[in-house]
Structure 1
């Protein structure tokens, strides 16, 4: 918090990815002028490779019929805030009822202690759950395109790039109902939000049983990303901010905040 406060006090502009984050910043630093704050949503670009998730599962995990499976995919580094354990029991129960359901987690280990003490033991006792220690970005995009749905179970998000990437790749999203996710997803319109593992399970089954409903979510998500998360809009917004800061600096002379130029 000390480091963040120092950075904010010296900043020409404080940028948030969504309104909820801007409100949080205003609450944390009430002396920050509203004119010094702005919201710029993240742009999203996906470049899927020729990677085959199904071949990878066959070669590395012995799953020979993965093309016939319903793969729910979580993408994110293995650490507590991403909470990859949160839905393991739910998807184990779904797998026991329907062997075609798989829960696949892709991401590098960024917290060794969490991995050894919590993640690995939970993984070992979970059926139908597969862990892939991390892939290249392009290969991850291809895996997201090939899965049945993307899942997000994070405790906290600024704005999940994986969610935006899945939307652009025509993959439906099941995400935990937290501020960063609800800023992007309108439940039942361009994705699905859940507040408990049980609710996630019910909505996963709805996706599996209603192809028309799934197609509608995918279509709306693609339209949403194209309108609100384009690269051109993001570029223009940042260029405008830099130009304005340079103009203010030129007009007013050196900017000093807390004694620093």
Structure 2
């Protein structure tokens, strides 16, 4: 279902690290995300996706995404690079391992 989506929109007021958002980025689906700590730790506005504060801003981002294929493709490419570099399985496994080891010390 996600593979056929035009865009992934995260409207959470509070969010940790959103795995569904990372999955969308990996699948080449542009992301629109409400500004919160978790989302802004992953999405860099107009580089790896769009960050919005209000529903009107989200609508503006959608219009821009729909009308500018060049921007859409650039966001997709940068998002895929970001996920591969910072959220690959090896890095995530190391981070969880280090966290667990720190808890038992």
Give TM-score, length-normalised by structure 2.
0.91
Which structure is richer in relative contact order (CA contacts within 8 A, separation 6 or more)? 2
Match of 1:225 in 2: 83
Tell me, in whole angstroms, the C-alpha distance in 2 between the residues paired with 1:173 and 1:244: 33
Corresponding residue of 2:39? 181
SS of the equivalent of 1:183 reads: helix
3-state SS of 1:151 partner: strand
* Aligned ranges 1:1-261 → 2 under 5 Å: 143-243=1-101, 248=105
The alpha carbon displacement at 1:180 in A equals: 1.2
- 1: CA distance between counterparts of 2:97 and 2:89? 12
Question: How high is the TM-score relative to the length of structure 1?
Answer: 0.38
Q: What is the deviation of 1:161? A: 1.2
Residue 230 of structure 1 and its aligned partner are, at CA, apart by 1.0
Larger Rg: 1
Question: Which runs of 4 or more aligned residues in structure 1 lie more than 6 Å from their structure 2 counterparts after TM superposition?
Answer: none
Q: CA RMSD in A?
A: 1.5
Number of aligned residues: 105
Listed as ranges, the gaps of 5+ residues in structure 1 are 1-142, 249-261
